[in-house]
Amino acid sequence: MTLSTAAFAAPSDPILATAYWTGIGALVLTLLLGLQIIRLRLLLRARQRRDARALARWRPIFNAVIVGETPAGLPALSKAERPHFIKLWVHLQASLRGDASDALNALARRLGVERDARTMLARGARTERLLATLLLGHLGDRDSWDTLRTLTASPDVTLSLSALWALVRIDPHAAAAYLTPLFIERDDWAMSHVAGILKEASAPVAGVMADLLPTLAPERLPRALRIAEALRIDLPPAVLADAMASSDIGLVTGALRIVATPAARDQVRGLLAHADWQVRVLAAKAIGRIGDPSDVERLAALLGDREWWVRYRAAQAIVELPWLGPDDLDALHASLTDRFAADIFAQVIAETRPLERVA
């Protein structure tokens, strides 16, 4: 045995042999990991090059159609370019509206992208299905209605919410009838998502909601009122009056959040003295929206409430009353004898005055 081969031979001692082979194993694993990192980097670069090529090819066409031009001939959209095309198309659709949005739809139809998207929706991987959902929603593709409706029951929340959004885009009236009861039922879906999806169908949702509210179980009513609030839906006055007369605090506060007509003024005034402080907070805010000059005195009385939030909201409501100018507010502040009332009123005036000066 030469000196060099002896240096690489496995030792005969079992402990040394174990250490030797462990070292060899670790070295091999490190080399494999290094090779994998290099492979991933090469794949990433190749993908970035494909992205850049697709963007360079399609961006001028997108720009042209967005400004109202109709390219005479279009290049073929290869399968490899399709995801990049759809990603950019969806991104631009989310940022544009009107003629530009219609022009993007026309471009997608000329290229037959909606047919590819229907296939992606039915059989694609998750990312492809998400992209297809967004594309078909923007296109208002009625042929995808049934598939999208099936997807709304997917355990994948992102996919199901995207499918719900697409249904609203395709047919707001049909979607409102289907989605409104679903959204009231599914209180695990965040209100921001619900409002974001339904906002483009707020008129049909208002109609569905008005029919639905009298039939809803009491425990579902607060959620329904929150949806109405988020979508700024005007509910029938009788529905709101019943809710404000309820013994359920959730219902009363839900109705106070959306009440917006002077017809409800007397009922709201009655709630300014409610035993629950959350009701008093929202009643003060509501009076700020629908009150008349006689309500200044009622709101001023709440400036001395035992709850800080009631005092704060009452002060905000007074300061935002359109018929009170800075001099009126200063006079009211000077007339306050309760220290807590004067403090909270001074704070709210200070919070609003910088904006007035800028304006």
Give the binding site for another protein (CB under 8 A): 59, 62-63, 66-68, 88, 91-92, 94-101, 199, 355, 358-359
Nearer to another protein, 90 or 329 (CB): 90
**Contact (CB, 8 A) for 253 and 217:** no
Tell me how far apart the terminal alpha carbons of the chain are, to the nearest angstrom.
93
Q: Choose between 65 and 209: whose C-beta lies nearer to another protein.
A: 65
CB of 44 vs another protein, minimal distance in Å: 19
Phi-psi region of 309 (alpha: psi -120 to 50; beta: other; left: phi over 0): alpha
Say which DSSP state 320 is in: T
Nearer to another protein, 202 or 253 (CB): 202
- Which residue, 14 or 68, has its beta carbon nearer to another protein? 68
**CB of 97 or CB of 306, closer to another protein:** 97
Least gap, CB of 236 to another protein (angstroms): 25
Write down the least CB distance from residue 150 to another protein, Å: 29
Torsion, Cα 131 104 59 112, to 10 degrees, reads 60
In single-letter form, the type of residue at position 221 comes to L
Dist CA 110 CA 104 (whole Å): 10
Min dist. Cβ of residue 99 to another protein (A):
6
- Residue 335 Cβ vs another protein, minimum distance, rounded to whole Å: 30
Contact 226, 254 (CB under 8 A): yes
Interior/surface letters 38-74, b for 16+ CB within 10 angstroms, e for the rest: eeeeeeeeeeeeeeeebbeebeebbeebbeeeeeeee
